[in-house]
Structures are given as C-alpha cells and as structure tokens.
Amino acid sequence: MTAKITNLREQFKTTTRQELTRVGLELFLQQGFATTTIDQIVEPLGISKRTFFRYFATKEDLVVEWQTEMTPAFVDELNSRPREEAPFKAVSETLLSLASRINTNPQLAFELMRLFKETPSLAGRDMERRMVWEQALTATLIEREGPKVMPRLKARITVGMAMTAWTAALDEWYLGGGKANLRPIMEKAFSLVTDQQ
Amino acid sequence: MTAKITNLREQFKTTTRQELTRVGLELFLQQGFATTTIDQIVEPLGISKRTFFRYFATKEDLVVEWQTEMTPAFVDELNSRPREEAPFKAVSETLLSLASRINTNPQLAFELMRLFKETPSLAGRDMERRMVWEQALTATLIEREGPKVMPRLKARITVGMAMTAWTAALDEWYLGGGKANLRPIMEKAFSLVTDQQ
DNA sequence: ACACATTTTGTCACTTAGTGACGTATTGAC
DNA sequence: GTCAATACGTCACTAAGTGACAAAATGTGT
C-alpha cells in the first residue's frame, strides 16, 4: 500500500518558502527594507542567493506575493454574495470580510503598513496589488450582473469606489496608530460613498 | 550695466535635463524600458552615467518626474474653482482640465500609457503619483471647505472617487486604442459616480 | 536494491542600477 | 585676474538580478 505520500520535494519547497518569508519579514521590520540584503536573509538558513531568486522574482515579492495570492478568495467571496444584493453593497461586504482578517492581528498589520509606507518600492507594489484586486473584482461583478446592467466602465467605477473607501478607511485607521477598531471606520467610509450627492 | 543675465549654469542644467528626457523617452518607446540602459541614454549626449544620477534619482524618475511636478498646477486649479461649486464637482472639473492636456497630443499620451502598463516598475510609480495627487487635492479640499463640512476621511473619499472615475475613464480610452475623444468618456465616468445609489 | 530521469540547488561569472569619494573643470562674484 | 562655489568625470564599490553549468537530492521504474 504505497500511498501517495505528498511529495517530499513540494513539502520542502513550501517550508523553505515559509522560512524565507519569516526571516525576511523579521529583518525588514527590524532594520528596514532597503538596508536588508538578500545575503542577510539567506545566510541564517544556509541557502544560496541564487536559490532565493528561484523562490521570489524580486526582493519585494517576498513581502507582497501572499497578497496577490489571496485574490481568488475575494472573487469567491463576491460570488457567494446573495444575488439580490445591490452591486456596491456586495463589493463593500466583500472588502469588509478582509477587514476582519486584519483585526486578527492588528499589531502586525500596523507594522506592515508602516513598512509599506516607508518603502517607496513596496508602496508601488502595494498599489499594483490594489489594481489586481480591482480588476479581478470588476470582472467578477460584470459576470455576476451581466454586461447589460453592468458595462465595463460602470463596473470598474463601482469597484473602484468601494476600493477607495477601503483604502481611505485603512489610512484613517493607520493615522490613528492602529489602535481603533477598523470595522466601524470602514463602514463609515462606505456610507460616505453612498451619501455623495 | 551688468544686468543679471539668467544664470548660464541653470540654463545649461535645464537643457541637459531636457535632452536626457528626450533621448531617454525615445529609447524607452523604441526598445522598451528594461532593455534600455543608462549608458545608452547617456552616450549620445556625451554625459557620464554618474551625472545622469545627479539629475534623476532613478531611471524611472526620467519618465515620471514631470508628472509629480505638475501637482501644484492641480492645486491652483482646484483653488480657483468657484466657491459655491459642490466639492465633488469642483474636483471633477479640476481633473477634467488635465484631460484637455492629454487631448493636445493623444498619440504620445497613448504610447506613454502603453509604456507604463508594460513596465511594472513604471506602473508602480504611476500609482504612487496618483497618491501624491490625491493627497494634495485632499488637503486643498479640506482647506477650501473647512474641516467641519469636510473632515479628513470625507475629503479623501470625495477626491478618491473623482480620481477613480478619472483613472477608469483613461483606461477605457486606452482600451479603445486611444482613438476616441477622451472628454465625453470622462464626463460619463463622473456621472456614473454621482448616479450611484 | 539498483539504475535512470527529473528536479532542485550551489557556484561562478556577469550585467546593471545606484552611491561615495575625490580630483578637475567651469562658472559666478569681486 | 583671483577665489569660492558648483558641476562634472573617473574610479571603485555595493547589491539586485540573470544565465550557464555542474553537483546533489528526489522520484520512478524495474
């Protein structure tokens, strides 16, 4: 009964990947992003620099990749929303579900935000990720409502508005030191969008 | 009568700066951003690589800098809007004034957009620039309306919504090959924001 | 258990962006 | 014409990222 024990190889790969992110994030938060070299990340794990770049295309990817990888989760969340819900509401609720993940570890989320805001190249990647999410949600929304009720431009704007509120709320939370409860701020932000005349 | 003839130095500096952007843009549009090296830009002008980095902090800045530099113009535009105009309308009109600049040379604008979309690092900087504009306009809007009618979060969302429409319209224009008239698309986009329930 | 193909990794060499130090040339002010 | 300030070139260096190739580890067949 030689059961297909999951690949040793794949297992090792995922663990080294995790180790790399762990050590990397630790160093970045400690000494800053730019001042940390790949060699410093790689050395305590006994891995070569070349191998690092086989796991992550760039130094930034070490921090950003997991965000992009959670895109499908959003799409699923939006797809599972009740069909009678208004478009903007559905997208807002989808984004709100992410906010609760942040509430799981607000300390870390705050530190990460600081890192992103202090590091231009990371800020850029963060914006890029926002665009990825926007595009994915836009496509999903069009699919959900049909292109007649929801043509591309309209869908993009609906999603964009929700995302704007989301970003603004996060910034507001950050400016308050990350101590406040994120959810009410975000709900306030969403209501400000719908109240616009 | 040793009149203060404008600094020879400053004059030379601005011309070399212009030359660098000219040659750089030419090469970027021809061969792509990543495949063009600083040496290639610098060689036909007889300038050293080191000097290039005295003019531009990064390779990306060669393309992006002028956009950031036009931020004050936006602020002025928003400030000069009639005081009785509704906040969102004022911001929208401000952004529309930029659209007309694009209409001056749509061909070039389209090529540049393509370059930005094809080059990840440039896309990142472009998003960063968007944030700079947003922040500047947000501050101006708060100043204009007073922090009581227009607290930070509300101002940020008002500006963000206008910016979302602006970006979506530009993308729509780009997806159409840059052949359509930008202004009506943009007006449509702004109206879609205000029509949201 | 053995042989063989596949995949992963390390080493080496290389390109390119970007920086610091220092000397030289150019310009502005007197 | 002298002198200080500023801009530039040269050189040397760090660090990100890539290509090529060989060595090591793993998976798959028998």
Q: pLDDT tens, B135-145? A: 999 999 999 99
Shared-domain flag, residues B96 and B150: yes
Percent of chain B with pLDDT over 90: 83
Shared-domain flag, residues B49 and B70: no
Percent of chain A with pLDDT over 70: 95
Q: A47 CA to C9 C1', in Å? A: 9
Residue in this structure with the two tokens 């008002």, named with its chain if needed: B158
- Confirm whether any atom of chain C, the nucleic acid strand, is less than 7 Å from CB of B50: yes
Shared-domain flag, residues B36 and B88: no
Q: How confident is the model at residue B41 (pLDDT cuts 50, 70, 90)?
A: very high
User: Residue B162 has which token pair?
Assistant: 């206008």
Q: Measured between alpha carbons, how far is A96 from A101 in angstroms, rounded to an integer?
A: 9
Residue at minimum CA to C1' distance from nucleotide C20:
B50
What is the predicted pLDDT for the residue at B4?
41
Shared-domain flag, residues B29 and B72: no
Per-10-residue mean pLDDT, chain A, length 197 = 53 91 96 96 96 96 90 94 96 93 91 94 91 96 96 97 96 96 96 83
A187 occurs within a structural domain: yes
Which one of B128, B153, B169 has the shortest CB-CB distance to A168?
B153
Q: Can you give the residue range of the structural domain that contains B50?
A: 8-57
DSSP string covering B100-130: HHHHHSHHHHHHHHHHHHH-HHHHHHHHHHH
How many domains is chain B partitioned into structurally? 2
Cβ atoms A145, B156 nearer than 8 A:
no
Residue in this structure with the two tokens 């694009």, named with its chain if needed: B102
B3 occurs within a structural domain: no
Mean pLDDT of the B108-134 span: 93
A2 occurs within a structural domain: no
What is the predicted pLDDT for the residue at A1?
33
Which one of A125, A128, A168 has the shortest CB-CB distance to B157?
A168
Indicate if the pLDDT at residue B28 is higher than 60.
yes
B2 occurs within a structural domain: no
Cβ atoms B78, B94 nearer than 8 A:
yes
Residue type, B23: V
Residue at minimum CA to C1' distance from nucleotide C10:
A48
Shared-domain flag, residues A39 and A101: no
Shared-domain flag, residues B67 and B162: yes
Chosen domain end from A57, A73, A96: A57
What is the predicted pLDDT for the residue at A197?
52
Shared-domain flag, residues B92 and B40: no
Per DSSP, the three-state class of A174 is helix
What is the predicted pLDDT for the residue at B155?
97
B124 occurs within a structural domain: yes
Count of positions (residues) in chain A:
197
Shared-domain flag, residues B71 and B23: no
Shared-domain flag, residues B103 and B15: no
What is the predicted pLDDT for the residue at B24?
97
Shared-domain flag, residues A138 and A186: yes
The mean predicted confidence, pLDDT, of chain B is 92
What is the predicted pLDDT for the residue at B69?
85
Mean pLDDT of the B26-40 span: 96
Q: With left for phi above 0 and alpha for psi between -120 and 50, is residue B46 left, alpha or beta?
A: left
Shared-domain flag, residues B29 and B77: no
Q: Measured between alpha carbons, how far is A133 from A73 in angstroms, rounded to an integer?
A: 10
Higher per-residue confidence, B114 vs B6: B114
Indicate if the pLDDT at residue B31 is higher than 70.
yes
Report the 10 Å Cβ neighbour count for B175: 11
Q: Measured between alpha carbons, how far is B180 from B182 in angstroms, rounded to an integer?
A: 6
Shared-domain flag, residues A101 and A183: yes
Q: Measured between alpha carbons, how far is B190 from B93 in angstroms, rounded to an integer?
A: 10
The mean predicted confidence, pLDDT, of chain A is 92
Per DSSP, the three-state class of A115 is helix
User: Which residues on chain B are in Cβ contact (under 8 Å) with A192?
Assistant: 153-154, 157
What is the predicted pLDDT for the residue at B10?
81
What is the predicted pLDDT for the residue at B5?
44
CATH code at B75? 1.10.357.10
B118 occurs within a structural domain: yes
DSSP string covering B87-98: HHHHHHHHHHHH
Mean pLDDT of the B161-165 span: 97
CATH code at B16? 1.10.10.60
A3 occurs within a structural domain: no
What is the dihedral sign for C-alpha A5, A8, A10, A14?
positive
A156 occurs within a structural domain: yes
The CA distance from A190 to the nearest CA of chain B, in Å, is 9
What is the predicted pLDDT for the residue at A12?
87
